[in-house]
Structures are given as C-alpha cells and as structure tokens.
Structure 1
Amino acid sequence: MGYWEVKCRFCGVGFNIGRSRRPTEPRYKGWLNTADMIGVPQGIRKNCVKGKCWVIIRREGPCLPDNVQLKDMISTQDIDDNDDPADSDYMLDQDDQEDEYEELEFISDDEMISDGEYGDAEESEEIMGDGVKTDADRRESQNTNGIPHQPKSINDNVPHSPSNHSTQAWTFGWCRSTPKFQVMIDQTIDDRKTWLPAQKFYKAKTPLYYDRMHEIEHTTESADCSTVTAYNGNLIEFEEMRDCNVFQGMVRRQPNWAPESDDIDYESASRYVFTGLCGHMSSTDLRFFPHLRPIRYGQDSVFCNEYVWDPNDNYAMPFHPWCFDIYARLSRRCNGVVDVNGLMDWHYFVDGPRYGEPTYRADGNVDEDDRPYSWGHHEHVRGCGSDFWLHPKGTEYLAANPLFVPKLPALLQMATETKPDFDPRGSPFAESKDDGLQTDDFSRLPWELKMEILSHLSSKNIANLRLASRTFRHLPNTLWKHLLMKEMPWLWEVWCDDEPYFWAAVAFGNIAQSYIDNERDLARYDEQSAEIDRINRIIEEAYVRENPAFVGRWKKASAEALGERPVLSQDWRSKASPVSGKLPSSKTNWYSLYTLITRHWKDLKGLRNRARIWTDIERMMGMIAESRERGLISPLGGDPTF
C-alpha cells in the first residue's frame, strides 16, 4: 500500500492541511500539509506571480554549498529580468515542465454563492455597517520584535511560548522522521531585505535548493499563486483555520476500563470512548501511530481509519472535534440524545466495511439508492481528497473552523437591538405614506391565513411578494426567524443554547504545551535530583562516621530544596474558548441578521463549512436511522450487547 491519508469520517476532509503565509506575517502562520513549518510547495514554480512571490531562506549555512553565498545565487546565474514565468514571452524549460501536478482550481466564492448559495441580497436594506471587515481588510501591521524559536522535540528543552500566543501555535503530533510532538511558535517576522524573488530563485538551477527545500519557505502576496500542498494565505486567514489539523478518535470501551473523571455524560452511557487529540495524521502505510494528548484510558497512540477492514478490530474512527460537535447538536435535535452507539455501530458494521465501494445492481450499474456515505460528499471534497489533501483555489473554506468563525460574532452583535422601544414582533421596515393603501385581494385575507401562505415561501419569493402586494409590505420580524431556522438550520445561534463539545472548544496547542512543559520540568527535576544524589554520597562518605546527625540534616534539607516531582498541569482545561450562545428573541432583529449573513456569506468561510458539514451529517443520520429500522444496529436509547 502506498501513501494514503485518512480523512474525517463525518465531513471527508483530510487532517493534513497547509497554509502558505504572506511574507509580512509571523513565521508560525505558514506550514505545509506534511506538517513541516516551512518548505517549497509542490508545483509552485510555474504558478508564481511576478513581483508578488518571495522565497525566504531560514538557515543560510546548511542550505548552500560552501562556495556559494546567498547574494550570489541570483547575480551569478545570468538571469534576465524578463526571464520570468509571468512574462508573456517566457517559455518553460525542461525542468519547469517536470512539475508533477497541474494547477487545480475550483470555482471561486463569488461563483459559488450565485449557484443556489447565499449572497443574493437584492431585497436587503442598507443595513451593512462598518463593524465587519471583509477579505480586502486582512492586512496585519508588521511587528519586528518577534522572538525566533526553532521547533524542538518534546524530549528537548523547549522554551515556553508566550501565553498570548499559546492558543494560536500550531501543534503537530507527528513529523516525518519521529512520532514526537512539535510546537511551532516561531513568531519572527522576516525583514524585507531577506525576501528573494521566487521566479529568479527557482531559475537558479541548483539541485541543492530542492534537496534542502525544508529550509526554504515560499511566501506570496498574491491571491493568484496556487499550489497543491498549502492554501494561499491571501485567501484564508490563519485565525479562520484554527485546529484544522486536529483530529480525535473513538474506539470501543474495553470491559476492564473504568470511567475517567473527564468523561462526557453520553460517553459514559455508551459502549465507546473518545481518545485524546493529535495535530497531524500519519499515512496508513507508516508504522507510526499518531500520538495523542491528553492520554485517555491509557492510550497514547492509536491506529485510525475511516474504513473498517475487520469489524472485530478496534480501529479508531477519526473525526474533527468540530464535526462531532455538529453531530451532537443534530442528534439532540432529532433524537433527544447524542446517539453514540448508533453512530459507531453503523460505522463498524454497516458503512465502514464497504471501503467506500458502492452496491451494484444486476445490470451492472451502481445502485443509487444504496451508495456508501463517502460518495455523497460535496464535489469540492471529492476533488481534493487524493492520496494526500490537495489545496486548489476556491476550496479554502473546507479548512475553516465552523465553530469559531472570526467575523460571525460582529454580525450577531450588529443584529442585536439596543433601542428600548424595539418591538420583536413589529415590522423591521420603515413606514411610508403608501402603507395604508391596501386595495389588493390579499388585504381581505385573515392575518393567520397570510402567515400560513408566507410559511411556505422562500425568502426570495417573499421579497417578490412584498414588491407585488402592499398587503405584505410590513411583515413581522419573527418571520425572518422562521426563515433562518428553515433555510439556515445550521445557524444554531438562532435556536440552540447547547454547550459546545468540550474537545472542540479546547485549543490543542494548550494541551500539547502542557505536556512539553511537563517534559521540560521533569528533565530539570531529574537532573537536579541526580546532582543532589551525587553530592549526598560525597557528604555521607565524608561525615557519616564523625557526624551522622549532620548527614541526616543535610539529606533532609536537600530533599526539601528539591521539592516534589513536577506533575502535569491541567490549566488547559479551563482555557476552553467560549462560543456564541443563543440570541435573545426579545432583542434580535432577525431580518437584519438574515440580510447580514447573506450579504457577507463569501467572507464567512467557517459558516459555509458548517453548512456543508451539517448537510453531510443529516444524510449520515438518515442512513443510521435506516440501518436501525433494518435491525443492523442497536436500538436508540438502549445499550444491549450487540
């Protein structure tokens, strides 16, 4: 078996996703899908944009031959300014044509929202304010006071990252040659003098550049530069991709396992348990199992697969914690409980063993009514899910966190009314002099019948009806709450006040940092303990006969000075990020919220991803319910031996 990355069982998206940073951003905001902090993405040379793409060499010495200086790489190669892939007369040479991957590009966000998606806000009033930034406003001021940190192993003496960056530092659980944790906390912002034009650098025909490409970083200021190994940082912000590499597993509970203190209620009541988290998924053909933190039920590593080769094997079902949060909300909404047993029984015994293969009819065609779950994912997911995750332009939203959407809280706040005279049942539209001229046939209908008609119409049809009939010029604010729940059920801020899934709210960087700090403290403690033991032996040999009381006092004082053995900090448990709660019905302008969401849809990548995942999980729950009706999985609410 060759290299193959495991995908999330819920949404089908891979866990190894990269981001190519802008050169003005701190270093920790850029990484490749291989979990390397830096590197030259595959296929990048012919897609670079003249004057906008730059190469930054992070360690000059090891990267270059002894007789080649950094300043000589460009000037001694006899490269003309016009010898650039961005020029119209430029011809690819043989080396450039050896690029293994063709440029991939999906439809843009603008094209996407026009195809049945949100963004068509023709009927919207002028509600948009200045409190929400758009994609054009995403430029950060430079800070040249960053402290550089080279990434180190968990077994090394890693300096503690500043507290204000610990929740943002990307943490990976497996990195190429060793299954150890690494926390990428390099906050350096590279001086512009160190930027090298990318096209000239790649034309310098020095094979050593690519032998050492993990010491070279490609950055770009252009949204047109594309690669298959990282998303363009000009198209998606670092904060939007929070924990996109983090996964969790679920496995069968063993008979001899006892409940743990951090068990969730529906976890304790099921036959399955959650593992710890990890920040990078290894390939199925490698021998390194992902290392998990925290260690739950004694498991510090686990083998994950979205398919089930043998139902008797206790492989972990992998998923994004944010995807399970959405599943839990949907399950409570549909079943009244979080159906863990049904989900895992369906995975182990029904859909998982199919290996993504369809059912064929007698005529040889695929049975469209009996397709595996993985066949129903969005076309963007199917297009990106190769042996490793591809990153074509237009699919950035697939890596956006659906729970923590940076721009959503501002929109929710804008839709919250602070005026004391706000009427939640009143009309959100301003009165006009023609309001009393209701002469059409609709004016004769009872109000209850009018509302019944409106309940069957879409928002676009309601907008047209308001233009056609004065009777419907003023409608109650609550109508748009109905539309939000009908057309955007995944916007749970409208109707749901559930607590978020704990493992989706806690930052994995904080967890891993606690373990790294503990390893560092233990190493120091053991070193000091060994030194104290050495000194104690010398003291004992010198004074045990003449003054044994002194030796006893010395050992006691040295033990007190050494102190207790360091224990693992649990502070990360109290640092779970809060999420937006349920909006107050008496203070929310639902029409304003609806128009704000539709107007800013293309900027709300996390919300767009939430809608996609919600649709997938609705389909999954339908398949689980069907399997339960056929007696293939355990009944809902019970826990029989299955």
Structure 2
Amino acid sequence: MGYSEVPTPPPLQASMINTFFNIARHRKPGEPDLASWDYTGSQCNEPGVDELDDLEECARNGCVVAVKYPKGDDDDPVKDPDYVSEEDSNDDPYENDSGRDSSDAMSVDDDDDDDDEGSTAATDPYWDFLSSTLDPQSRFDGEPVGNFGYSNTNTCGRTETILPITGDQTPGGHDPEELEHIPGPNCTEARAYSGNRISLEEMRGCRTAQFLVHKSSAKGEWKPDGLHEPWETSQDWFLSGVCDGMESRDSGFPSVWPARGGVESVQTDNINFDEEWTSPNEVAMPFHPWCFDIFCRQSKAQFKHVNVSGLMKWRNAEFSWDDFHSFPRVGEVSSAQEQFWRHDPGSEYLTANPLYVPCLPSLLAAAGENSIHRSLDVSRTREQGGRANLESLPLDIRLLIVGLLDSADITSLRIASTAFTNLPNSLWYQLVRDEMPWLWEAWEDGEIEHTPSPWTVMTANEIKLLLEERKHYSNILAKESMPVNGMLDYLLPNPSARPDTRLPRRNTNWHQVYVQIKQNWDRLKGLRNRQRIWEDVEEVMRRIKKYEQE
C-alpha cells in the first residue's frame, strides 16, 4: 500500500467524527495471532525483538516476548494457525480452516495466569468472545471474524512460550529474530494499540468503513434491495457496502461488499482536491457505521427524520482542506493525525465500539435490580446546640438548593449533610439525562423511535465471509435442486438489527446508574467514545441547521 509523498494529504478518515480507519493492534499474552494486525490489516508479529532500540525500557514497561512458531512448523495446522493447505480453495471455505478444524489453532496456555483479566478462560466473558472467533486471515486482511449466529467454533487450547524481558539481553538465549515483542501495560509503542489496554471485543468494528453514495453513481436505477434503510427510498443518497480499512489516496478506490446499487468500488474522500472539475456529488462520504447510527439518532431528535440531504449539504459546503482541518476535534484525535495514525497510549477509547460496550449491560442491569428509595422522611430534624441544621429545611427548599448545584457539588453536599443523603430518584434521573444525553439506554420508550442498523452488527470481514458462504451454499443447493433462498436465509441469515436496551424509569436506581458510570469511566471505553462522537455530531447538527437556513 503506497502513500503520497510530501506534501502529504491527511489520512482518509471518517468525515463526521475525524478518526482513522486503518487502526492497528498488538495482541497481549495468550491472545491468538489474529488479534494482531498492522495498519494495512495484515496479520503480523512485528516489531520483533531485533527491531527494538532499548530492551531495558521494555523491561521497565512490563513488555514480554513470545517465541515465534519454529521453522518447520509452517505446514502444521495445529502449531501454525495461519496454515492453509495448497489444495484449499474458496470453493470450500471450511477445508483446513484452522478456526473450524483445530481445537489448538486459537487458544491460550491452560497455565497462563493473566492478572490483568483476573479470571480464567473458563469464566472470563472476553475469553468466551475469543473462543467463538473464526480465523479467516488466510483470505481476509483486517479484523478477525467473530461468531455471528451460525458458527459454533471453539478453538481454545493453544499454548505458547512467553518470556519476560529483564534487562538488555535477549531473553532465553534465543535469536532475536525468533522472538515476538508483546507490549506491556506501560509500553509507549505508537504503531498499534496494545491488547493490554483495549480488548479485541471493545475494538470490534473499528476498521469497518461505509459510505454515502449519490444515486447518480449507481449502476442503472437504484432500487431497494432488502438491506435498505427506510430513508434510502426517498433521498438522493444511499449506503454503500462496507470494507475493512481504507486504501490511501494514491492506491485506488476501496472495494465494498455487497455491491449495493451495483457499486463495487467507491470514489471517496474527506476533501475535494479538484473542485473545478469534480462535483461534490461524485465523491462519497466515509464513516464508521456506528457513527452514522449516532447521527441518525440525533437527526431524528432534532429534525424528526434522518436528514441525509442536510448532512450532505453541509459536507459539500465545507469540502476543502481548510474546512476539514478547521472542524473542532478532541486533543487525542489532533495529535494522532499524521500520515499514519499514532496509536498513543491513553487514546485507545477512540477505537472502541460506542454501540455495543462490554460491561455496560451488566452494570445497567444491576441498577434495575436494586431497591430504590422512593420516599424521604422529611419530618425528621436534628437539634445540635439549640440550632437546627439543614435537615430542618422543607423538602422543596432542599430540592431548590440542589437544583442550583452541579453534580460535583451535590456529591459534596451529600457527604457533608445527611439531609441530602436520600435525594429523590427523579433528581438522579434528571442528572443522568442532563449530563449524559448520549446514554440512550435512559431514554423513555417512544421518545425517539430508533433501531440500530444491521450494518452496525457485523464487521466488514464478517459481511464479506457471509456473502462468500451464501454464494458457496447457493451453488450446492442449486445442484441438489433444493429451494435456495428460503434455505439460505435459514442457514445463513443476513445480519439483523439489535434493539436498544431500555431502563425502566420508575424501577431503576438512577443514582446507582450515575455513580457506576462515573466510577467505571476508564473501563467503559466505548461509552467514552460514544460521548465524543455524540458531541462531534452535535456540532454537525449546528452546521446543518446553518446551511439549511441560508
């Protein structure tokens, strides 16, 4: 994959939320090889120990090394999870697939003690997630393919040799070229995000790109295809298929799956570099499906419909280099925007899935199970030294005081005075709504009718694999003179949307919701990214309104 020479254009990014698609990741000890990939999406175990400048710094950062698969094991489907037989072909996607045939192809050492996770493979949901993941890397670059409804793969059981780095000498007397560097919790490597800091599950979908394409670019007349969103039938733009990662500008247009509207490759950019000769409608708008979902939610709230025409009117009005760089963005995004995305430690949340956040469902469910203090004993007063304290104030006065404070001051007041310990549940609900407008789990039923798009459920490689397998089984069923469509939909269903979780307003402990989110903020990386995207989309909404009023 080539990249333009100086002056270097900015990397192609998601237009609405200013993040990159070509995200890289390094695995942590015990994770399979497929949990590591470089910015191109290629599975890799770089950098090797021979490329490291300072082993002593690695020792201080808690880095370790793994012994790479020894020479001679390249044709062993157990020891080499990338092995594909020379006789293998796409005609049989399961033949010699290490993720489907070998229980050792993707596993962790049974004796591996992962203090960071704090649990074993048998009980940790993250390892359950990994164990239900296929390894299609022999055919696809980029994110690994997970269990999406019809795969019962279980590939635990892998063992590997992990050695600590203790000084400036190569561990274990191995040749440096035989060792894979695995970043520790404090590693400062910026070429990829560390698996010690963000899980594969949290990053799910970080490389998936989709595009808004003008219907004039469709091959023939655009028609609904069963995958269409309701708004697509009435507006001038439609959603393309998806792809994993993004080609650089000098490497051609990205190919997408499926070829919706007959469009197999998409002309796309954040910037119109040739305004004189290129109509803005010829250039598709790139984004992550999860970001477009958040746009749809806000659009329904503010415009009562998915205002794609307004979105593209803004994009076309601010389509220059200067416009792109003048859009406000958080500091981590600005510092990461180089020719290659800088994977700075601490910025991992930028790549976390904002829709499906591990740990959040259980945290919210616990708040619905606990008892709620629905009443206050407002008659109780205390006298100290002949002077009534704050408990003597009527409830309405106390609530008036609380209404003038922010959440931090309310917390301090609750600590300072027992009169403010048991505040009404409704007050905490309002705090959640005011300070966390992006927590749609707290929205009331009927407030905004929205179901996440099926495009948010699967990664690009999962969709691509699904299409290949549907084609494969379609050919088999046709040869057997069996009904194809109904059987395919039964065996290999298209992705379906997942309805949002809704917390019942009256039966939820909103104080617990508020406190638990605040206390677990660093763990809830997807929720933190949701807040960032939400605020970016709020700015987009302001600009849409500006151009629609002109």
TM-score normalised according to structure 2 size: 0.75
Q: 1: CA distance between counterparts of 2:138 and 2:11?
A: 15
Q: Determine if the alignment matches structure 1 residue 311 to structure 2 residue 231.
A: no
Q: 2: CA distance between counterparts of 1:52 and 1:560?
A: 53
Q: 2: CA distance between counterparts of 1:308 and 1:252?
A: 15
| 8 Å contact from structure 1 (residues 151, 182) kept in 2 | no
1:476 to 412, 416, 424: 424
- CA gap 1:579/1:27 in 2 versus in 1, 3 angstroms: farther
Could you say what the CA RMSD is over the residues aligned between the two structures, in angstroms?
Answer: 4.2
State the match for 1:379 in structure 2: 331
TM superposition shift of 1:242: 0.8
- CA gap 1:13/1:312 in 2 versus in 1, 3 angstroms: closer
- CA gap 1:175/1:619 in 2 versus in 1, 3 angstroms: same
- CA gap 1:445/1:205 in 2 versus in 1, 3 angstroms: closer
Secondary structure, in 3 states, of the residue corresponding to 1:235? coil
| 8 Å contact from structure 2 (residues 22, 245) kept in 1 | yes
Structure 1's unaligned 5+ residue stretches are: 64-143, 210-215, 359-371, 526-558, 632-642
State the match for 2:528 in structure 1: 608
Q: 2: CA distance between counterparts of 1:397 and 1:566?
A: 43
In the TM superposition, 1:204-603 aligns within 5 A as 218-220=180-182, 222-254=184-216, 256-287=221-252, 289-309=253-273, 310-348=278-316, 350-352=317-319, 354-355=320-321, 357=322, 372=324, 375-417=327-369, 422=372, 425-426=374-375, 439-440=388-389, 443=392, 447=396, 450-467=398-415, 471-495=419-443, 498-518=450-470, 520=472, 563=481, 569-570=488-489, 573=493, 575-576=495-496, 578=498, 580-603=500-523
- CA gap 1:173/1:269 in 2 versus in 1, 3 angstroms: farther
State the match for 2:23 in structure 1: 17
- CA gap 1:560/1:298 in 2 versus in 1, 3 angstroms: closer
1:57 to 63, 68, 79: 68
TM superposition shift of 1:308: 2.6
Specify the code of the residue in structure 1 equivalent to 2:247: S
Q: 2: CA distance between counterparts of 1:197 and 1:560?
A: 57
Structure 2's unaligned 5+ residue stretches are: 102-128, 147-152
| 8 Å contact from structure 1 (residues 346, 627) kept in 2 | yes
| 8 Å contact from structure 1 (residues 168, 242) kept in 2 | no
TM superposition shift of 1:39: 3.2
Deviation by residue 1:124-155 (Cα, 9 ceiling, x = unmatched): xxxxxxxxxxxxxxxxxxxx989934479985
2:547 to 581, 603, 627: 627
Q: 1: CA distance between counterparts of 2:415 and 2:290?
A: 41
- CA gap 1:297/1:247 in 2 versus in 1, 3 angstroms: same
Q: 2: CA distance between counterparts of 1:151 and 1:284?
A: 32
- CA gap 1:233/1:458 in 2 versus in 1, 3 angstroms: same
Deviation by residue 1:455-497 (Cα, 9 ceiling, x = unmatched): 3421112223335555434310111111111111111111155
Q: 2: CA distance between counterparts of 1:18 and 1:292?
A: 20
Q: 2: CA distance between counterparts of 1:434 and 1:146?
A: 71
| 8 Å contact from structure 1 (residues 22, 219) kept in 2 | no
Specify the code of the residue in structure 1 equivalent to 2:410: I
Larger CA Rg, structure 1 vs 2:
1
Specify the code of the residue in structure 2 equivalent to 1:476: P
Q: Which has the higher contact order (CA 8 A, sep 6+)?
A: 1
- CA gap 1:470/1:56 in 2 versus in 1, 3 angstroms: closer
- CA gap 1:442/1:166 in 2 versus in 1, 3 angstroms: closer
Secondary structure, in 3 states, of the residue corresponding to 1:415? helix
Q: What is the identity percentage for the equivalent residue pairs of Structure 1 and Structure 2?
A: 29
- CA gap 1:58/1:42 in 2 versus in 1, 3 angstroms: closer
Specify the code of the residue in structure 2 equivalent to 1:592: Q
Q: Determine if the alignment matches structure 1 residue 158 to structure 2 residue 93.
A: yes
TM superposition shift of 1:5: 3.3
1:34 to 34, 40, 49: 40
State the match for 1:131 in structure 2: none
Secondary structure, in 3 states, of the residue corresponding to 2:250? coil
